[in-house]
Chain A
Amino acid sequence: DVKVTQSSRYLVKRTGEKVFLECVQDMDHENMFWYRQDPGLGLRLIYFSYDVKMKEKGDIPEGYSVSREKKERFSLILESASTNQTSMYLCASSRPEVAETQYFGPGTRLLVL
């Protein structure tokens, strides 16, 4: 059974803190994604990685960075958390030949105070 796991289900952080969100997939997928999900806005792509150490900006990369040192692991970093980054963060992975079929993790609900 395919699996994408995220390091935390819930996180509470303070404004200005550096926040790390970790994602691991066990399907040997080349593609990995970070989205945020907000009511009324759907899922918006933050960053995409198509290989180790490779990344592309998505639609809303401002305030975020990513790291992919190993194929199975993709990290999202909030350098200095702000209250408008309070959201649900979803990680996903896919094979490049079927890039539209993405497998999602359970999500991390982040609250920035």
Chain B
Amino acid sequence: QKEVEQDPGPLSVPEGAIVSLNCTYSNSAFQYFMWYRQYSRKGPELLMYTYSSGNKEDGRFTAQVDKSSKYISLFIRDSQPSDSATYLCAMSVNDYKLSFGAGTTVTVRA
């Protein structure tokens, strides 16, 4: 079993829809939770960063962490074609070593 599981999709939604992405994990020691966005032929870029449980909002993006269920989510409101990318979840105990999900490819149709 992988340490971090992420549905690879692909996910296709119409412009303006809410995109819901999630990851589950098995290591209860994870404390830091990240979402990276990767456009085609580019490297990943950090989108959201959360410590421990709870919600974090940044514009149209909301990250949620439920440590009791070992489940994290990313919501994108009012999705735009420019949101079309692969979204990678990543987690860490307390150091440089990140465990990544496989990534979910999202397409937002105009």
Contact = CB atoms under 8 A, between A and B. Distances in A.
A41 B45 CA distance: 18
A42 B92 contact: no
B103 A48 contact: no
Nearest to A105: B43
Contact of B49 (A9, A90, A92, A100): A100
Contacts of A43: 44, 88, 90, 98, 100
B44 A90 contact: yes
A9 B40 CA distance: 13
A34 interface: no
Contact of A104 (B32, B44, B101, B103): B44
Interface string B59-103: 000000000000000000000000000001010100111101111
Contact of A94 (B96, B101, B103): B96
A50 B96 CA distance: 9
Contacts of A40: 8, 102
B4 A42 contact: yes
A48 B96 contact: yes
Interface of A: 4, 9, 31, 33, 39-45, 48, 50, 58, 90, 92, 94, 96, 99-107
7 contacts: A9-B41, A42-B88, A43-B44, A99-B92, A100-B49, A100-B96, A101-B49
